[in-house]
Amino acid sequence: MSHMVAIATVLITTGALSACQSASKPGPGSLAFSSSKAALPTMERVALAANGCWFKANDSSFRAYRLAPELNSYSGRPRILVVPGNNPGGRPLLVVHAEGNPAKVEAFGPLMHASVGSRIGADVKRWADGDSSCSAKG
């Protein structure tokens, strides 16, 4: 009988672990793509859309964070940062920057590895292409 209990325990544990893994859907990690516009106008569009869709709309996926745009870049790499809301000077959790004309856009940081990372990637690509619509809120 104890052998059956051990097998049942293994099956239940395995099922619970696979349910947890499928529920957490990790993001894509780092992302890089090209935009048809120059770096600054691309990042201006991304910053405006991110502010409106993620922060001003009080999106639950971004409530704990703040947007920190750094568009006036002397390095030629305008960027936006998403930082902890309670520590605006803290380590960025998301960096989206662009360089060149046409722009090469990159997004990276811990949020890109989280479940919201796939949505961030889709939003940033859409905004960089000129579509300022918001995705479904988390």
Q: Domain limits of the chain?
A: 26-128
pTM (2 d.p.)? 0.79
Residue 61 has what DSSP assignment?
G
Vertex 88 angle, CA 54 and 132, to 5°: 20
Spatial separation of the C-alpha atoms in residues 44 and 27, rounded to whole Å: 24
Torsion of CA 79, 85, 87, 90, to 10 degrees: -30
Interval 56-100: pLDDT, tens: 999 999 999 999 999 997 888 999 999 999 998 999 999 999 999
Mean confidence (pLDDT) of the chain: 84
Interval 109-137: pLDDT, tens: 999 999 999 999 999 999 999 999 998 65
| CATH architecture of the domain with range 26-128 | 2-Layer Sandwich (3.30)
